[in-house]
Amino acid sequence: MPWATVVDGPLRSHLKVEVHDDELRKFEADGSAPLPVTNDQGHVEHEGARIWYSTYGSGSPVILLHGGLGHSGNWGYQVPALVRSGYRAVLIDSRGHGRSTRDARPFSYELMASDALAVMDALHLEKPCLVGWSDGACTALILAAKASSRIAGLFFFACNMDPSGVNPIEPSPTLNRCFARHAKDYALLSATPEHFKDFVEDVSLMQRTQPNYSAHDLAEISVPVVIVQSEHEEFIKREHAESLAQSIPGAEFIILNAVGHFAPLQRPEQFNSALLAFVGKVLPNSVTFES
């Protein structure tokens, strides 16, 4: 939920500026909004990798898990909104993505879920709300399934829980712009900037073959969950998202209008409204500031 500050003599007002980047032209050129400055960032050594994290604000924790090929900076529009609403936003770069390293093992959502749990342990986070986008949603749901007693709730956006839920990828200018941005960011952030092609192939293999959760597995999830699907979602079949909501006890189903797989970047104000509404339900003791 980006803002602009207007100064008029001794008077200062904060005006909400709505961002529309439906074709990801701004994202390709500049990336997401810059993250706030923080002194709380570092790495956690876990399972042969150095997992990067950073935190912002105070209050009840909200962990944001980014999508495949991306990194935590893609949450630039969401972090300030959470901080203004009285939450502690926690970012984690998935192994092999962004500033995090990886070992020689293939990518897996289970391994990335264990990485996220290791960060939770290192930061002594109690009952965070998980927010997952695409691959990050797979990771978050697996973490919620395996460690439900540690999780307050899950905001699950734009993802499948078995390969049958994915549409065939159809190239488009919007997808090409997103991919170009990911390539630039990987070159800037990764410890192995020359390996982007291998990185894409390895992540793509994981996406084609994982995850493989059944309706029975999903029925075991015992935390509040909202399944969020975009009206123009490019990758995930709507009927699959609806099936997920039906398989998880008590899960809600929400449609975001006029956006696609990249809603947090395309129309962040709309995305943030749904996000904050859910977080407010599962973390009711957080202080709410003017937004």
Residue spans of the domains in the chain: they are 19-282
Q: What pLDDT score was predicted for residue 10?
A: 35
The model carries a pTM of: 0.93
What is the C-alpha separation between 83 and 76, in angstroms, rounded? 12
CATH architecture observed for domain 19-282: 3-Layer(aba) Sandwich (3.40)
E strands of the chain, at which residues?
Answer: 3-8, 11-16, 41-46, 49-56, 61-65, 88-92, 129-133, 153-157, 225-230, 252-256
**219 sits in which H/E element:** helix 215-219
Q: What pLDDT score was predicted for residue 18?
A: 84
Residue-wise pLDDT for 53-62, tens only, equals 999 999 999 9
Residue-wise pLDDT for 168-200, tens only, equals 999 999 999 999 999 999 999 999 999 999 999
Please check whether residue 115 is in contact with residue 47, taking contact to mean a CB–CB distance below 8 angstroms.
yes
User: Which residues have a Cβ under 8 Å from the Cβ of 116 and sit 6 or more positions away?
Assistant: 63, 65, 92, 139, 140, 143
Residue-wise pLDDT for 61-114, tens only, equals 999 999 999 999 999 999 999 999 999 999 999 999 999 999 999 999 999 999
